[in-house]
Amino acid sequence: MVSVQSRYTVLPSQPTPNQKLFSLCEQIKLRTHAPLLYVYKPRPHHDASTMVNTLRHSLSQALTIYYPLAGRLSSVEGGRWELHCNAKGAQLMEAICKDLNLDDLGDFVPAKLVSQLIPNIDYYNVPIEDTPLLVVQLTRFSCGGVTMGVALCRGVIDGTATMRFMTTWAKLARKENLNHVEINPLHDRNLLNSYKLHSGLYDHSEFETPPPWLGPLGGRGRDTDFVVEIVKLTDEQVKKLKHKGNNHDHMKNYSTRRSYSTFEVVAGFLWRCVSKARYAGNSDQPTRLSTLVNCRNRMKPPLNGYAGNAAFPTVTLTCSFGEIMQRPLSYVAGEVSDAIQRVTGEFVASAIDYISKVKDMDLVRYNFHYPAPSVCRGSYKGNPNLFVVSWMNFSYKDADFGWGKPLYFGPGFMDSEGKAFVMNKASGDGIVVAISLKDSHMEAFKRFFYGDIDEEFRISKL
């Protein structure tokens, strides 16, 4: 239904440094691209050629500032990534969707047609040295609405830096002046490498093999056997959930516990609902939750303006389905909180040291990103774990290219099972979660998600 009409290679508008960058943090990331979807409401006077020319010109300027995004990755010793700032450029595509209006896409669930709004990257037939790090697809609908699908390589940039890049690009498209900070992002990867701490004080279980699925797979048992859904929480539901998640009365020394954040409570609630959905009498089944932490402000001194990848992984302690299902929500939220709070500057420095000594980098990527098809070794063996990423508080509404602020922002597709993105609603009222699970588990998950919310409300009113 989506047809690509034209493709352009966009080069930096001015000469840029020809250098090679190496970051230890980025070694644990995938070469694949994060799929971001921006949706803009219909406007009757959208001129296609003007829109494309504006994007090409402003992207060329933005790539002069964010010049590493115009480069290419290469694989060096030990399967590590090296970023060559060779100014080969980004790719911009123009597409149309004649058959549908934006309203036909509903909640923009990141699957099926919505995934066609994201650039399709060929990782199997195109060498890594020839794969653009940034690919953008502008898709026009007959109603006058447009979407921008942005694919940015996970190995070179994280969500925080991506939002800053998109804000800079949008300001250039609107012909607005950039401030000093926007003109001078920090690209020196040695800034993060220099924090390396030779210390054995920390256990880096985030890089170790995740808990395996112990029982029979059930269903068809393929890694492609999953579906994606969007579930929602209103502000009132989030408030009630946080109240329940912060009830520490059952804990010793509960008065010393800090209040858990919205993300920690929601992630814990998701983990509990997913465990219930996967449960088949296997109370002893081990499980853990993984997430990413932006470490810029956790370092001393802080990495202000750092434009690389400073999102480090962390995992909860391994629990059992029985523990997750039977203990209070505050216990599960506490496990998530502890995993996030342990990521201090010293922890990150120790992790950098750990990464520097790894012999098989592919194994580390496999352990953390399982069961992503780009790293999964052999056949799919089941997944009792959950990977939850926070896209809350991302400044996506700054991505106004002259067409107004986006009416929606979220992932364009999800490529593996057991993953969830937690986002703020565009309206500002509540939370949206995009989640992928085996299709045999999804309906049960939704029953527990909404049913447990209703039960918490019923109990709170007694």
Question: What is the pLDDT, as a whole number, of residue 255?
Answer: 47
Q: Cα 410 from chain centroid?
A: 9
Same fold, 2-193 and 205-394+410-460: yes
How is the chain split into domains, by residue range? Answer: 2-193, 205-394+410-460
Mean pLDDT of 176-198: 90
Question: What is the pLDDT, as a whole number, of residue 250?
Answer: 53
Looking only at the bridges linking them, the beta strands covering 80-84 and 20-21 are antiparallel
- Distant-in-sequence, close-in-space partners of 157: CB < 8 Å, separation ≥ 6: 68, 69, 133, 165, 307, 308, 309
Question: What is the pLDDT, as a whole number, of residue 195?
Answer: 87
Helix 235-245 × helix 439-460 angle, to 10°: 80
Residue 135 DSSP symbol? E
Class of domain 2-193: alpha beta
Q: Where are the beta strands (DSSP E) in 318-430?
A: 319-320, 386-390, 408-411, 419-424
Query: What digits encode the pLDDT tens for the residues 140-182?
Result: 998 899 999 999 999 999 999 999 999 999 999 999 999 998 9
Q: Is the pLDDT of residue 247 over 90?
A: no
Tokens of 72: 């290419």
Spatial CA neighbour of 263 closest among 340, 343, 161 = 340
CA dist., res. 273 & res. 183, Å (int): 44
Q: In what order do the strands lie in the sheet with 227-233?
A: 227-233, 431-437, 419-424, 386-390, 289-294, 311-315
Superfamily of domain 205-394+410-460: Chloramphenicol acetyltransferase-like domain (3.30.559.10)
Which residue(s) pair with 434 in the sheet? 230, 421
Q: What element of type H or E holds 146?
A: strand 146-153
Looking only at the bridges linking them, the beta strands covering 408-411 and 33-40 are antiparallel
Q: Which pLDDT band, with edges at 50, 70 and 90, does 249 fall under?
A: low
Whole-structure pTM value: 0.93
Q: Which pLDDT band, with edges at 50, 70 and 90, does 219 fall under?
A: low
Spatial CA neighbour of 407 closest among 40, 6, 136 = 40
Q: Is the omega angle on the peptide bond into residue 301 within 30 degrees of 0, that is, cis?
A: yes
Looking only at the bridges linking them, the beta strands covering 419-424 and 386-390 are parallel
Q: Is the pLDDT of residue 323 over 90?
A: yes
CA dist., res. 274 & res. 384, Å (int): 9
Q: How many CB atoms lie within 10 A of CB 283?
A: 12
204 or 462, which is more confident: 204
CA angle 85, 172, 41 (to 5 degrees): 115
Query: What digits encode the pLDDT tens for the residues 404-449?
Result: 999 999 999 998 999 999 999 887 889 999 999 999 999 999 999 9
